[in-house]
Each structure stands twice: as C-alpha cells, then as structure tokens.
A and B are shown apart, each in its own frame.
Chain A
C-alpha cells in the first residue's frame, strides 16, 4: 500500500512538474525575450560595434581594433566630458542630499500642513524633464529672467548662465538639485519616521545634546537610506541627458557636455557609431563597477 502510494505520488509529481515547467517558461518568456534583445544582447553588440568605424547607414563597416578606445583616450573633449560628468554628479548629489535631509528633519517635526509642503516639494519628481529644462532656461535668461530678480539686489552682475563657459554647468547642476530634492526628502522622511522615539528619549535622559543626537543616533540609523540615495543618485546623474540637451546642448564649447549627451552627439548627430559605442561601453563598465562597490560596501558601512 505504502509502496503504491509513493509510486502514485512520484507519477503525479512529474505531471505537476511538467505543468509547472511549461507555465514557468510561458510566463517568463516575454520578459526574457525582450530583455535579451533590448538589454543583454546590446552589451555584446556595443562591444562589437566599438571595434569598427561605421556611419550607421552604409552597409560597410571598417575594422579598427581598439582604435576607437585609443582615440577616446587621446581626445581632450572626452576627458572634459568625463570631468564635467563627475563634477556634476558629485555636486548635485552632495548638495541635494544635504538639503533634503535637512528638510526631511523639519517635516518630521509633525508640523501642520506638512502634506502640502511635501506634495509641492516632491512635484518636480514627476514633471517632464523637457518642461523643467524649458522653464529653467527662461529663468536663467540674462535680461528678463526670474533669477536676475533674486541676484540683482544681492549685487551680482548680469550673468548669461547658459551661454557662459563658466556658468553653464552650474546652471545644469542647479536644475538637477532643484528637481531631485523632493525624492530624496521623501525617502529620508520615511527613514526618520522609522526611528523609535524611545531611543531619543533615552538619549535625552542621558543628557545628550541635539548635535550628539543627530550624529550619534539619527545619522547612523538612517545610513542605509543615505547610502542608497548616494549611490543611486550618483548613477542617475551619470546617466543625465534631457536637461543638458534642452538647456545647453552641452555648450558652449563643451563646457556643460556630459557622457550620455556626448554619446548622443557622436552616435546620432555625427554618425560616429564606433566611437559612440566605445563611450557606451565605458559608461556601462563604470556604472557596473560602482554597483559592485555598492554591493560590497553596503555590507560593511551601513548599520542596519
């Protein structure tokens, strides 16, 4: 009897297993086919294309080996673009996170109307970058721009932000900070709300001052969120395109050009497909490298 039972179970299991297998393959196939064609395959194809000189239209590709990478290494514009991208990522993320943590700590004080404050400060997160760039280009306008209303009383001279080699990158950074504060603030606020009041009460009883409370208690306890926002924020700025494209087109003289915009120009304006593919591959490797570091460090640095 027991023998018969086991046999039946094994038999029915295998039907069930088969059914599960078919269902699994059928259910996941659309996702994996699409990911395969449009995400995984492009990595290899980008590497392949980066070894050629090609204008994307002609049927003929000329094999160059690693010449595109050598050209990139010797191209001062490439290094300027890398410098701009890293400066932009660094300043945007640091300033944005500092402001949003401060605002989150204010919002956490249970003030009246906090949901209204939160909703407005968060709103740029969902606003089309194209529209954001349009209105900011108009705000930065040197003669009639809104920013001049603020800067003139402070004694600043008239600045043509967008057409100045020294101010175009800061202008883009200001817009990225403005549009990113809300998202960081909402995540910081969620992290702050997770800290139990008892810890603060205990610290107050022990005579800790507010400076100590922030650096010894709050800051370590929200470190997972801080770390997450730091890394994802950094990577997101490395990938920035829209604001740069609309506001400055990377100019003047590449002073606000960044990696993805430079890639776009090479690929779709100058038809240097091979060179652009080499750029894409370098960006990919750099972002993968940061992601890897994130996985390693999050275990060591972050207090859970």
Chain B
C-alpha cells in the first residue's frame, strides 16, 4: 500500500516535471523563433522567401544576401558611426557618473542630500520632454549631424552614478581612512582605492551602457539628416523605405548586422548581465 503511494507520488512528480519543461520549451520557442526566422530568411533566395507555407531551410545557403545588403547603403560608415558614438558615450558616461558617485558616497558636504535628491529627480523625468529643446540647443551650437550632437545630450547617467555610489558605500571605511592618513586627496583616493575595488560593477555598467547606446534609435534619428552621420539602427530603418525596394531576405540580413555585436556580448556575459538585473543592480 505504502509502496504504491510512493510510486504514485513519483509518477506525479515526473509528470509535473515534464509539464514544466513543456511550458518553458513553448515559451523559449516563441521568444526564440523570430531570431531563427530572421536568420533563415536572410539566407534564402528571393523565390524561397515568397512561398506559402514557408520552407524552413533554403536549398542553397545564400551568403551573398549579406554582401548585397551591406552594399544597399553605406553600412561600413554606419558601423563606424555607431562604434564611435557608443564608445564615446560609454566612456564619458562612466567618467562623469564615477566622479558624481564618489562625491555622493565619500565627500562630506552640507547640502549633499539635497543635490542627491535633485540628481535622482532627473532620473524620473522622461527624456521625451527634452527632444525639441535639445534639438534647438544643438541647432544653435551647429551640432546637428555631428558625433558630439549624438553623444553629448545623453552623457549624464544618473542611474550609473546611483549604482556606483551604492557600491562605493559598501567599501569599508578603513580603506579610505588609511588612504587619507597617507595624505591622498579625493582624486587619488578615487583613482587608486574606489575604482580598482569596483571593477566588477564598472564592467557590468559598461556593458549596459554600450548596449543601450548601440541600440538607441529616436535621438540619433532626430539629430542626423545626412546619410553619412547615421548610426546603424537609423540606417537600418532607412533602407526599409520604398526607395530602396529591397526584399525581406536583405532586410533580415541587414538586421543581423545590427544584432551581431550585442549578441556576442550577450553570449559572453549573459550571466553577469541577467544577474545584474535580477539583483536590481540595473534597470532595463
């Protein structure tokens, strides 16, 4: 009798495990399918794209679709623009937020809390309200269609400053006290004590900022009108318009150009990136 109930229990356990896997598998396929579909479409011939029901694998893999897509627009130039603006934005964002974070974590100042709240308030303000004013400011500076126009309005990174401050505050006081007794100023303490101890969080923040800037669409779209200054997402969106008249296979191939760098980062640092979000370290 008891044996029987143990067997039933085990049976239910296996069934529920299978059910769990089925549910998770269904979700994974639903989320993953568009990516697979993008790749499969990108290597099909124009004839194979226009078949219903669709075929799941082309007869001959058409790698030349990527070459054709690359040549429909100056994608090399888009890549350079994206790399330059993302790298500059990330670097300047990390520097400014690290300085602000150090000040809020370690420097005593009467109105520190007030300024901290002021900075946090900036995080709540939706960036959309700044689109027109920023465009007007940049037009006055003659920064439309320039790298600095794409980068500068989005350097200040309140979230990064907040995250780094929280991290700096977990560093034991004794380390800072020792550095102060040695006669180091704030600049040296930051460079030689705070930053070296914060490498993991700096790394995560760097990856997030890079992905965010690499994928950015609205601001680069507004601030660039010359084809030569477009970033990858803006250039990709552009070739979809009727004047380019290119098929889905080339559109999907071009989309893959945009995805590749982020996919590589995600593949290599997937755990770090997801855990960063799970622990509430970084907002998406």
Given A138-B251, A143-B52: A43 and B158 interface contact (C-beta under 8 Å): no
- CB–CB B134/A138 < 8 A: no
Please give the distance in Å from A9's CB to the nearest CB on chain B: 15
Is B112 on the interface with A (CB-CB < 8 A)?
A: yes
Is B192 on the interface with A (CB-CB < 8 A)?
A: no
Counting contact residues on chain A (CB < 8 A from B), the size range is 35 or more
- CB–CB A246/B237 < 8 A: yes
Interface majority SS (helix, strand, loop, mixed), chain A: helix
1/0 contact string of A1-35 vs chain B (CB within 8 Å): 00000000000000001011101101110111011
Contacts of B167 in A (CB 8 A): none
Select from chain B the residue with minimum beta-carbon distance to A124: B31
- CB–CB B52/A28 < 8 A: no
CA distance A226 to B27 in the complex (A): 21
Contacts of B38 in A (CB 8 A): 131, 134-135, 138
B contacts with A, residue count (CB < 8 A): 97
Contacts of A129 in B (CB 8 A): 215, 217, 233
Please give the distance in Å from B58's CB to the nearest CB on chain A: 14
- CB–CB B128/A35 < 8 A: no
Is A304 on the interface with B (CB-CB < 8 A)?
A: no
CA distance A144 to B48 in the complex (A): 10
Which of A67-75, A88-96, A113-121 is the interface stretch?
A113-121
CA distance A34 to B154 in the complex (A): 8
1/0 contact string of A228-265 vs chain B (CB within 8 Å): 00001001001101100110000000000000100110
Interface majority SS (helix, strand, loop, mixed), chain B: helix
- CB–CB B53/A263 < 8 A: no
Contacts of A43 in B (CB 8 A): 125, 129
CA distance A17 to B108 in the complex (A): 8
Which of B4-12, B60-68, B94-102, B198-206 is the interface stretch?
B94-102
List which B77-109 residues lie within 8 A (CB) of chain A: 95-97, 99-100, 102-104, 107-109
Is B14 on the interface with A (CB-CB < 8 A)?
A: no
Contacts of A270 in B (CB 8 A): none
1/0 contact string of A173-184 vs chain B (CB within 8 Å): 000001001110
Select from chain A the residue with minimum beta-carbon distance to B249: A138
Is A49 on the interface with B (CB-CB < 8 A)?
A: yes
Contacts of B30 in A (CB 8 A): 178
1/0 contact string of A85-124 vs chain B (CB within 8 Å): 0000000000000010011001101010011111111111
Is B178 on the interface with A (CB-CB < 8 A)?
A: no
Is A273 on the interface with B (CB-CB < 8 A)?
A: yes
Within 8 Å by CB of B108, from A20, A56, A122, lies A20
Please give the distance in Å from A175's CB to the nearest CB on chain B: 9
Select from chain A the residue with minimum beta-carbon distance to B266: A126
Q: 9 tightest CB-CB pairs across the interface, nearest first?
A: A42-B133, A34-B156, A27-B103, A42-B130, A128-B215, A130-B233, A190-B278, A23-B186, A45-B133
Q: Which residues of A contact B (CB under 8 A)?
A: 17, 19-21, 23-24, 26-28, 30-32, 34-35, 37-43, 45-46, 49, 56, 99, 102-103, 106-107, 109, 111, 114-132, 134-139, 141, 143-144, 146, 148-149, 152, 178, 181-183, 186-187, 189-190, 232, 235, 238-239, 241-242, 245-246, 260, 263-264, 267-268, 273, 276-277, 280-281, 283-284, 287-288, 291
